[in-house]
Amino acid sequence: MDEERMNKIIADHMPAAYPVDSECPPAEIWAAVINHDLPAEEHEKLAAHSRVCQACASEYTLAQKFLSASDRTDKDVEWIVGQLERAHRPESNVVRFPRRWPRYAQPLLGVAAAAMLVIAFAPMLPILQPGGVPVLPPDTGVYRGADVSIVQPAGELDYFPRQLEWRHHPEAQAYRLAMYGVDGEILWQTETSGDVDSVGVPDELVQRHVVYYWQVEAFSAQGDAVARSRRTEFRVSGGTR
Amino acid sequence: MSRYKNLDDEALIRRLREADPAESQACRNELFTRVYPRVAQWCLRLCGNRDDAADMAQDVVERVHKQLDSFRLESRFTTWLYTVTRRTALNRMKSEMRHRRRRVDEDRVPEPADTAATAPELLTSNVVGERIRDVMKEKLNPMEAQVVYLHYVDGMTLPAITNMLGLTNKSGSKALLVGGMRKLRRHLGPWLDRQFEA
């Protein structure tokens, strides 16, 4: 039998090699062992087992890494925590932050997004200020300075909003705006530059009786995030287009 | 600084359940400020990059929110939290693995198997599994065995295992996996020939 086929057979049958014996507890029990949540006798028995059972030793390690997590010092951990904090809305418990597409779809999405941006923004090119919109970084979750204040739309509306309006932030040279559904999915996103405090809302984007959220982020000329607004909710309950 | 900082997790959850809505929400917020870094750090170790880790952590946090009422205060909160985190995170990894289906040539080490199997396959699998287990016990060193289990049973990727175990050697967990598989092939080869080539 060739090596590759043998590898495959071993890999395919490996899940049947666990648990190693009847002494192996469910994998999640190891946190209880480390936390001393079990009666002393049980604790001793399992701790001894983890020293001789290779599979359980690996599960013990996983649990140990979880329970010994240190304070937030790593910048990537900080970034993830920032994402989680912003996704967590006290009033509704959880609103998911926008998910990324699967990695295999990203190149195609990139091409599609680029094409859509060209189509959408080509007519606006002449009115952009010299230098255009600075290259805005992905959301860093880190902002300095005050919030950006929302003017409208907000709350229950008896009209269809034609614009998103906010108070200009003194340090801002560009803004990124996004409108979200209740599940946190981005429904529409745009960027604008200069001393502006509003952008138009595409026709037909807003539907009656549907809850939307929107948010504006301010960026400096260097593309640094300087402030952002609260994610603001609105719903159209009356009026005509 | 939160006025609940001095409460331990379990006391905080008791308060969360007994207090009026406003205080309850404040307690919940404090609890989750403790949950986020722990979950984020573990997911980052598991995924190796912050984007995937953020998605995974988001899944975990959602699950914790939904299931918090089911925590019966019979253990430390972190014990319960680990159970939810591990299950959600590893299920997600396995599910992604199934979706990828793309074989990665890691020195001819195959991807972990999709565990769905028919009854006859399960019978064969148990026999082969027992044999693999015996050889692993006798021939593999503890680190090799840990890496093999984490990769093929838990479905963790090699970079994730390297991170999780804090391996600092140049090729990380890959060298241990390749070494372990080599030993398994050497000691199981003739037996596998008889079982599968007949």
Residues A111 and A224 in one domain: yes
Contacts of B29 (CB under 8 A, 6+ apart): A90, B2
Residue from the list A3, A76, A88 with its beta carbon closest to the beta carbon of B44: A76
Residue A92, domain member (yes or no): no
Residues B19 and B69 in one domain: yes
Residues B135 and B191 in one domain: yes
Residues B83 and B157 in one domain: no
pLDDT > 70 fraction of chain B, expressed in percent and rounded: 83
The span from the CA of B13 to the CA of B28, in Å, is: 8
Mean pLDDT, to the nearest integer, of B33-51? 89
pLDDT digits (tens, 9 = 90+) for A47-66: 888 888 877 888 888 898 88
Query: What is the identity of the amino acid at A49?
Result: H
Q: Mean pLDDT, chain B, as a whole number?
A: 82
Q: What is the pLDDT of residue A215?
A: 92
Residue B138, domain member (yes or no): yes
Residue from the list A17, A58, A66 with its beta carbon closest to the beta carbon of B132: A17
Residues A218 and A134 in one domain: yes
Q: Directed axis angle between helix B9-18 and helix B21-47, to 10°?
A: 140
Q: Give the gyration radius of chain B's Cα atoms.
A: 21
> Whats the size of chain B, residue-wise?
198
pLDDT at B20 over 70: yes
Q: What is the pTM of this model?
A: 0.57
Residue A178, domain member (yes or no): yes
Residues A149 and A231 in one domain: yes
Residues A119 and A34 in one domain: no
Q: Please, are residues A142 and A225 in contact by the beta-carbon 8 Å criterion?
A: yes
Contacts of B6 (CB under 8 A, 6+ apart): none
Please confirm whether the linkage preceding A19 is cis (ω < 30° from 0).
yes
Q: What is the pLDDT of residue A142?
A: 44
Residues B76 and B124 in one domain: no
Contact criterion met (CB < 8 Å) for B129 and A31? no
Into how many domains does chain A fold? 2
Residue B82, domain member (yes or no): yes
The span from the CA of B62 to the CA of B43, in Å, is: 14
Residue A51, domain member (yes or no): yes
The span from the CA of A165 to the CA of A162, in Å, is: 10
Into how many domains does chain B fold? 2
Chain A window 51-90: which residues touch B at a Cβ cutoff of 8 Å? Answer: 54-55, 57-58, 61-63, 65-67, 69-72, 74, 76-77, 79-81, 83-85, 87-88, 90
Nearest to A7 by CA among B181, B170, B167: B181
pLDDT digits (tens, 9 = 90+) for B158-172: 888 888 888 888 788
Chain-centre distance for alpha carbon A112? 21
Q: What is the pLDDT of residue A214?
A: 92
pLDDT digits (tens, 9 = 90+) for A6-56: 888 888 888 777 665 666 788 788 999 999 988 888 888 888 888 888 778
Residue range(s) defining the domain that contains residue A124: 107-236
Q: Please, are residues A13 and B184 in contact by the beta-carbon 8 Å criterion?
A: no
The span from the CA of A49 to the CA of A52, in Å, is: 5
Residues A16 and A118 in one domain: no
Residue range(s) defining the domain that contains residue B16: 9-100
Q: Please, are residues A222 and A144 in contact by the beta-carbon 8 Å criterion?
A: no
pLDDT digits (tens, 9 = 90+) for A195-207: 888 999 887 788 8
Residues B90 and B35 in one domain: yes
Residues B92 and B123 in one domain: no
Q: Please, are residues A31 and B83 in contact by the beta-carbon 8 Å criterion?
A: yes
**Which of A88-92, A124-128, B124-128, B130-134 has the least mean pLDDT?**
A124-128
At residue A141, the 3 state secondary structure works out as: coil
Q: Which residue has the higher pLDDT, B47 or A137?
A: B47
Residues B15 and B81 in one domain: yes
Residues B45 and B72 in one domain: yes
Classify residue A171 by its DSSP letter.
T
Contact criterion met (CB < 8 Å) for B37 and A94? no
Q: What is the CATH number of the domain that holds B155?
A: 1.10.10.10
Pairing of strands A174-180, A232-236: unpaired
pLDDT > 70 fraction of chain A, expressed in percent and rounded: 74
pLDDT at B123 over 70: no
Query: Which chain B positions have a beta carbon within 8 Å of A31's beta carbon?
Result: 78-79, 82-83
Q: Residue A183 phi/psi, 5° resolution?
A: -90, 5
Token pair recorded at residue A26: 């469910």
Residue from the list A16, A57, A77 with its beta carbon closest to the beta carbon of B41: A77
Q: Please, are residues B35 and B61 in contact by the beta-carbon 8 Å criterion?
A: yes
Chain-centre distance for alpha carbon A150? 22
Residues A112 and A52 in one domain: no
The span from the CA of A152 to the CA of A158, in Å, is: 13
DSSP letter for each residue of chain B = --TTTTS-HHHHHHHHHHS-HHHHHHHHHHHHHHHHHHHHHHHHHHHSSHHHHHHHHHHHHHHHHHHGGG--SSS-HHHHHHHHHHHHHHHHHHHHHHHH-----BTTBPPPPP----HHHHHHHHHHHHHHHHHHHHHS-HHHHHHHHHHHTS---HHHHHHHHT--STTHHHHHHHHHHHHHHHHHHHHHHHHHH-
Q: Please, are residues A147 and A229 in contact by the beta-carbon 8 Å criterion?
A: yes
Residues A31 and A124 in one domain: no
Q: Residue A227 pairs with which residues in a beta bridge?
A: A218
Q: Which helix (H) or strand (E) holds A218?
A: strand A211-219
Q: Give the helix ranges, DSSP H, for chain A.
A: 3-13, 29-34, 40-52, 54-67, 75-87, 106-121
Contact criterion met (CB < 8 Å) for B54 and A80? yes
Distance from CA of B13 to the nearest CA of A (A): 16
